[in-house]
Amino acid sequence: MKHYEPPKKNLWTGRVSNKWLYLHEKVHCTPLEELPEAQKKSIALLGYACDAGVHRNQGRVGAEDGPDAIKSSFAKMPNHLGSNVLLHDVGSITCTNSDMESAQEQLAEAVTFLLQKKQFPIVLGGGHDMAYGHYHGIKTYLDAKKEGQIIGIINFDAHFDLRKNTEQSNSGTPFYQIAKDCEKEGIDFKYLCLGIRKDANDRNLFQTAKDLNVIYVMSETFQPTFLEEITTFINAFTKNVSHVYVTIDLDGFSSAFAPGVSAASPMGYNPYMVVECLKTIINSGKLISLDIAEMNPKYDIDGQTAKLAASLVHHVAHSISGS
């Protein structure tokens, strides 16, 4: 694999207990080609070390170092996963500006492979162009089953990322590309966005969202006061799909929590909103795969964005495995 980098053991350091008290003691650094089929619950962390899409989208680069920053922050956290749960770091997909599309294809192949090996993939980015590869990896896996599965995408984000890829694809175009692929195939585009900001999406983007029947909750409504209504929205959405792909763009959080991104959101939302929604999604039993996008260590302060991303991974890993 041209764009594949095996796991780096040096990211997995922290306090030593010799009793698996910390996640760096729990993790297995397993290159993709050595990954066995899971016999019990197994989580695979895969990086998308690429900011070419952010660069193409006129954003601030630095997200190619995002996956490593999240992994090394996660490594130091306490491990509450039971002995019946496995955790693998399977390395990263890398890319350069000129070959982002082939990196997305390799990401798709890697995600399909992880699902075939009965792993729960958590992909860490990297620009949000990651979503195009991630979605297609899930789709290829499900299509092979020939059971007519419907993928619902839930995106926690300040942005729709529905820009038209008329010239080139980038970090702002992945969901438009997916919508066009769905149209070609004659299948519904099922896309729910949580945390959309009016001051971060132009009129054309709102029009595209309307044309594509996108369901969305604005950032000012994505607040604890409306949690009950939002939970109802999520349940209605998950009811009509067979599988849910969750993508979390860190730039949807207030920059008070997540300064380490390309396009910061001073008026963004609170992490607890996302955690509450994740509980609802996980309870549906339909979550197939998840990613965290746009981690940019270059603009982080005291590693707090990396730590926020790592906390989200911590929550999901423990929650899906009942630990």
Judged by beta carbon, residue 60 or residue 76, the one nearer Mn ion is 60
User: Of these partners, ligand NIG, Mn ion, none, which one is at the site of residue 57 (CB under 5 to 8 Å by kind)?
Assistant: ligand NIG
* Burial tier of 272 (Cβ tally within 10 Å: 0-12, 13-18, 19+): exposed
**Footprint (CB under 6 A) of ligand NIG, residues 168-197:** 171-172
**Footprint (CB under 5 A) of Mn ion, residues 62-121:** none
Q: Which single residue brings its beta carbon nearest to ligand NIG?
A: 172
User: Of these partners, Mn ion, ligand NIG, none, which one is at the site of residue 172 (CB under 5 to 8 Å by kind)?
Assistant: ligand NIG
Residue 254 sits at φ, ψ, to 5 deg, of -55, 145
Measure the CA–CA gap between 22 and 18, rounded to whole angstroms. 9
- Sign of the torsion angle spanned by Cα atoms 220, 226, 231, 237: negative
Measure the CA–CA gap between 152 and 141, rounded to whole angstroms. 15
User: Which residue, chain included where needed, has tokens 């619902």?
Assistant: 152
Site stretch for ligand NIG (CB under 6 A), options 21-29, 75-83, 159-167, 183-191: 159-167
Query: How many residues touch ligand NIG (CB under 6 A)?
Result: 10
Residue 315 assigned as binding residue: no
Residue 79 CB coordination number (10 Å): 21
Judged by beta carbon, residue 122 or residue 131, the one nearer ligand NIG is 131
> Is the separation of the CB atoms in 109 and 56 below 8 Å?
no
Site stretch for ligand NIG (CB under 6 A), options 21-29, 68-76, 96-104, 157-165: 157-165
Strand 120-125, strand 151-156: pairing: unpaired
Measure the CA–CA gap between 36 and 44, rounded to whole angstroms. 11
Could you say whether residue 159 binds ligand NIG (CB under 6 A)?
yes
Measure the CA–CA gap between 155 and 133, rounded to whole angstroms. 15
**Footprint (CB under 6 A) of ligand NIG, residues 65-124:** none
Could you say whether residue 153 binds ligand NIG (CB under 6 A)?
no
Instruction: Name the helix (H) or strand (E) containing 288.
Output: strand 287-293
SS3 254: strand
Shortest approach of ligand NIG to residue 122 CB, angstroms?
Answer: 19
User: Of these partners, ligand NIG, Mn ion, none, which one is at the site of residue 219 (CB under 5 to 8 Å by kind)?
Assistant: none
Contact letters (x/-) for Mn ion, 218-257, by CB under 5 A? -------------------------------x-x------
**Footprint (CB under 5 A) of Mn ion, residues 115-154:** 128
Shortest approach of Mn ion to residue 56 CB, angstroms?
Answer: 14
Reference 120, options 323, 319, 317; nearest CA is: 317
Tokens read off for 189 = 């585009």
User: Which residue, chain included where needed, has tokens 């996302």?
Assistant: 274
Binding residues for ligand NIG (CB under 6 A): 57, 59, 128, 159, 161, 163, 171-172, 262-263
Binding residues for Mn ion (CB under 5 A): 128, 157-159, 161, 249, 251
Give the residue numbers of the binding site: 128, 157, 159, 161, 249, 251
